[in-house]
């Protein structure tokens, strides 16, 4: 309606009909933002390596092929989380094996040999799928979702597994399973994957015989028993969005309790620490693909805890890379040890600020 509006996309503030002062403040703010962005472009050709030579991987999270340009533009080492549920949600029926195969193949090929971790569908909870007619649930986040649905609907799951295996012939594809709480789920899933491999061999269709499989650590059940899970898979990825929600019993989407949703809560950090320790005890790698991996304040702490790879929205990669490059691995270990000895999230944040 002819009003001038300033939208501050960083804070979420909107100013309608700004005055002279507002205009000055926000013009300066925008210029500074664009300048920083330009500066961060210099990070794209650099490796994420600390001052004392410790290299970590920085990966991107994607929801489909449309996100690949951003991955390549921001200097990612690969894709640490491809959320496949959008392929299912942007449809009015289950996608076929061919449709899935082409989607996964396109991503694998476009990364030019860099790895892509593709997560099997994580429907349920906050992600509904009307055509599947899943029952109404009082507690969807604690209910019929992700691997629980997949292990029940083996036909549907095998379609996805076959498509993933086929795509593995066209790039460096890894498969990851969400919402694991029990080793039996892992074993049942691996058995289904072996069935799919046998079928493809019999059909003469090629796939990566050494394809790596991993699980998300996003439930306390998986974190507590990390070292046991680690003996049966090739890698872990910590899903802090759900791990925070389930560790603290705080709904990740409920605004009324959002101040309680805090990954710095020592209980969540302890779950992260246990997961990393469990992975390394068994000699497997561990990444993080929840939002916490892209938290600029958390980089040094996570480095110090021993995280091998950080996966985040592609646009966050340059900033996190800058943090890694400015950090010393030795100092970050000291920070992590000290932070983990503190009692509250506030104390931990305070200690990090001092670093």
* Contact criterion met (CB below 8 Å) for 116 and 175: no
Shorter beta-carbon distance to ligand PEP: residue 50 or 299:
299
d(CA 82, CA 160): 13
Q: Of the candidates 64, 116, 65, 86, which has an alpha carbon nearest to the alpha carbon of residue 237? A: 116
Backbone angles phi, psi at 285, to 5 degrees: -90, 155
Shorter beta-carbon distance to Mg ion: residue 238 or 324:
238
Binding mask 224-263 for Mg ion (x = CB under 5 A): ---------------x--x---------------------
Shorter beta-carbon distance to ligand PEP: residue 170 or 264:
264
Distance set, CA 31 to CA 24, 36, 119, 135, 240 (Å): 11, 9, 38, 51, 33
Question: Least distance in Å: CB of 254 to Mg ion?
Answer: 16
- Segment interacting with Mg ion (CB under 5 A) among 95-103, 136-144, 213-221, 223-231: 213-221
Question: Least distance in Å: CB of 208 to ligand PEP?
Answer: 24
Q: Of the candidates 239, 174, 171, 167, which has an alpha carbon nearest to the alpha carbon of residue 206? A: 167
Shorter beta-carbon distance to ligand PEP: residue 81 or 324:
81
Residues 6 or more apart whose Cβ sits within 8 Å of residue 140: 124, 125, 126
Structure tokens at 230: 């680690």
Structure tokens at 249: 């019993």
Which of Mg ion, ligand PEP, none does residue 298 bind to, with CB < 5 to 8 Å depending on kind? none
Which of Mg ion, ligand PEP, none does residue 146 bind to, with CB < 5 to 8 Å depending on kind? none
Question: Least distance in Å: CB of 293 to ligand PEP?
Answer: 9
Question: Least distance in Å: CB of 242 to Mg ion?
Answer: 4
Shorter beta-carbon distance to ligand PEP: residue 65 or 313:
313
Shorter beta-carbon distance to Mg ion: residue 145 or 225:
145
* Contact criterion met (CB below 8 Å) for 84 and 160: yes
Shorter beta-carbon distance to Mg ion: residue 77 or 218:
218
Asked if residue 304 binds Mg ion (CB under 5 A), the reply is no
Question: Least distance in Å: CB of 116 to ligand PEP?
Answer: 15
Structure tokens at 204: 């003469």
Judged by CB under 5 A, the residue of 218, 291, 295, 308 near Mg ion is 218
d(CA 226, CA 205): 34
Which of Mg ion, ligand PEP, none does residue 83 bind to, with CB < 5 to 8 Å depending on kind? ligand PEP
Backbone angles phi, psi at 62, to 5 degrees: -135, 160
Structure tokens at 160: 């996805």
Question: Least distance in Å: CB of 242 to ligand PEP?
Answer: 3
Shorter beta-carbon distance to Mg ion: residue 216 or 314:
216
Shorter beta-carbon distance to ligand PEP: residue 50 or 124:
124
Which of ligand PEP, Mg ion, none does residue 226 bind to, with CB < 5 to 8 Å depending on kind? none
Residues in the chain: 355
Bridge partners of 6, per DSSP, are: 15
Which of Mg ion, ligand PEP, none does residue 289 bind to, with CB < 5 to 8 Å depending on kind? ligand PEP
Question: Least distance in Å: CB of 218 to ligand PEP?
Answer: 5
Q: Where on the chain is the footprint of ligand PEP (CB under 6 A)?
A: 81, 83, 122, 218, 239-242, 289-290
* Contact criterion met (CB below 8 Å) for 312 and 346: no
Q: Helix, strand, coil: what percent of the chain each, to 5?
A: 55, 15, 30
d(CA 121, CA 144): 13
Bridge partners of 79, per DSSP, are: 60, 116
Helical residues (DSSP H) of 214-343, grouped into ranges: 220-224, 226-230, 240-248, 266-281, 299-305, 317-326, 329-340
Question: Least distance in Å: CB of 124 to Mg ion?
Answer: 11
Interface contacts to Mg ion, rule CB under 5 A? 218, 239, 242
């Amino acid at each position: 309606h002819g009003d001038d509006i300033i939208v501050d996309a960083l804070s979420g503030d909107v100013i309608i009909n700004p005055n002279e002062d507002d205009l000055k403040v926000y013009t300066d703010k925008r210029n500074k933002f664009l300048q920083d962005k330009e500066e961060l472009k210099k990070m794209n050709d650099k490796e994420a390596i600390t001052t004392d030579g410790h290299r970590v991987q920085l990966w991107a999270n994607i929801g489909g092929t449309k996100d690949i340009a951003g991955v390549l533009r921001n200097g990612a080492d690969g894709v640490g989380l491809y959320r496949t549920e959008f392929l299912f949600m942007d449809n009015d029926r289950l996608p076929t094996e061919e449709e899935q195969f082409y989607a996964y193949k396109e991503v694998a090929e476009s990364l030019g040999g860099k790895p892509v971790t593709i997560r099997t569908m994580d429907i349920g909870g906050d992600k509904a799928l009307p055509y599947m007619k899943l029952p109404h649930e009082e507690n969807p986040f604690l209910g019929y979702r992700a691997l629980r649905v997949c292990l029940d609907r083996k036909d549907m799951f095998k379609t996805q597994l076959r498509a993933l295996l086929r795509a593995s012939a066209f790039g460096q594809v890894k498969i990851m399973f969400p919402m694991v709480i029990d080793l039996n789920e892992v074993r049942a899933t691996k058995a289904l994957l072996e069935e799919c491999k046998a079928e493809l061999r019999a059909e003469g269709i090629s796939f990566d015989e050494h394809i790596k499989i991993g699980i998300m650590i996003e439930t306390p059940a998986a974190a507590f028993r990390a070292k046991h899970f680690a003996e049966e898979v090739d890698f872990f990825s910590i899903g802090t969005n759900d791990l925070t929600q389930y560790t603290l019993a705080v709904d990740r989407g409920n605004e009324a309790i959002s101040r309680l949703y805090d990954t710095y809560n020592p209980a969540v950090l302890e779950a992260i620490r246990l997961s990393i320790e469990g992975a390394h005890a068994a000699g497997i790698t561990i990444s993080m693909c929840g939002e916490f991996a892209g938290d600029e304040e958390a980089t040094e702490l996570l480095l110090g805890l021993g995280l091998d790879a950080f996966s985040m929205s592609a646009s966050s990669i340059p900033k996190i890379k800058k943090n890694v490059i400015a950090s010393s691995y030795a100092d970050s270990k000291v920070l992590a040890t000290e932070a983990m000895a503190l009692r509250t999230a506030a104390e931990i944040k305070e200690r990090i600020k001092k670093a």
